[in-house]
Amino acid sequence: MAVAFPGESAEYRAARNRLLDQEVELRRAMEAVAEVRRRLPPGGVVPQDYLFRAKAPDGKPAQVRLSELFAPGKNSLVIYSMMFPRAVDDASPGPPGGQTALLPLAEGPCPSCTALLDQLDGAAEHASQHVIFAVAAKAPLDRVLTFAAERGWRRLRMLSSAGTTYNRDYLAETADGSQQPMLNVFHRDGDKIRHFWGSELFYAPVDPGQEPRHVGTLEPLWNLFDLTRGGRPANWHEQFSY
C-alpha cells in the first residue's frame, strides 16, 4: 500500500520509506526478544513467601504473602519496586501539597517512579484481566497508601515491603539501603513460585547520553517524545507538578 501525506516532497517520502523499513525491523526485533524471553528456562524458586503489608478489602491494614497476590487462572505476578524513599542524591522538589509533602525530602517518593505509575494506573485494570500487577515500596504502608490517594491512583495494588528482604533479594535495594526501580515478574509453577524475569537492564552499561531505560517499552511518556522532531528533552526528568 502506497502511503503519502498532503504536501510532502519526494525527498521526504524517500527518507520516510527508509525509516519505515527500520521501524519494521524494530518491530520484528522486539517480537524476537519477547519470544526469547518467553522461552527462558525456569527461574529460581522464590526463597521465602515474603510478607507484605497492604490494605485489606475492609480498608484496614493487613498482611499479605507473595503467594496470596496470585489469583485463580492468573499465574503471572508483576511487581514494580517504587523508590519510596527516593534516591539519596535526588534533590528535585517533593510533592506540592498533601500529607506526603510534609515528609523530609529524603523520605519522600521518587518523581520518576511516580510519573511511571501515573501512566500505569490506567493500564492496570486492563492488565488485570490476564496478570497480577502490584507496586511495592519500602516506606510504611500508611505513607504508601496516603501518597497513592493523593495521586489519584485507583487501580494499582499498593504494598509495603518494609520489614522484608524482598527489595534486597530482588535487586531493588543496594547494600547501603538505597532503593532501586526494579520490575520483577514471577510465575506460579504448580506449588512453586519462580522468578521469571527482572529488568536487570538497569544494571547494564549505558550508551553515552542515555539512561538505563530498563522499563522503557512500558513508558508512554518517553516513547511519545521519541515520535517528535525534538525527541526526548535533554536534562529533563519527570516531576510531581509543572
Spell out the domain ranges in the chain. 10-39, 51-202
Q: 52 has which bridge partners?
A: 64
Specify the pLDDT at position 7.
98
Specify the CATH architecture of the domain 51-202: 3-Layer(aba) Sandwich (3.40)
pTM score = 0.96
What is the identity of the amino acid at 34?
A
In 3D space, the residue among 34, 50, 37, 36 whose CA is nearest the CA of residue 193 turns out to be 50
For 132, the enclosing helix (H) or strand (E) is strand 132-137
CA angle, residues 183, 186, 192, in degrees to nearest 5 = 155
Q: What is the pLDDT of residues 50-75, one digit of tens each?
A: 999 999 999 999 999 999 999 999 99
Please compute the mean of the pLDDT values over residues 14-27 and round it to a whole number.
98
Angle at 171 between CA 115 and CA 158, to 5 degrees: 45
pLDDT of residue 13 exceeding 80: yes
C-alpha–C-alpha distance, residues 159 and 34, integer Å: 28
- Cβ-Cβ contacts under 8 Å for 200 (sequence gap 6 or more): 171, 182, 214
pLDDT-derived band at 1, boundaries 50, 70, 90 = confident
* Secondary structure letter of residue 171 according to DSSP: T
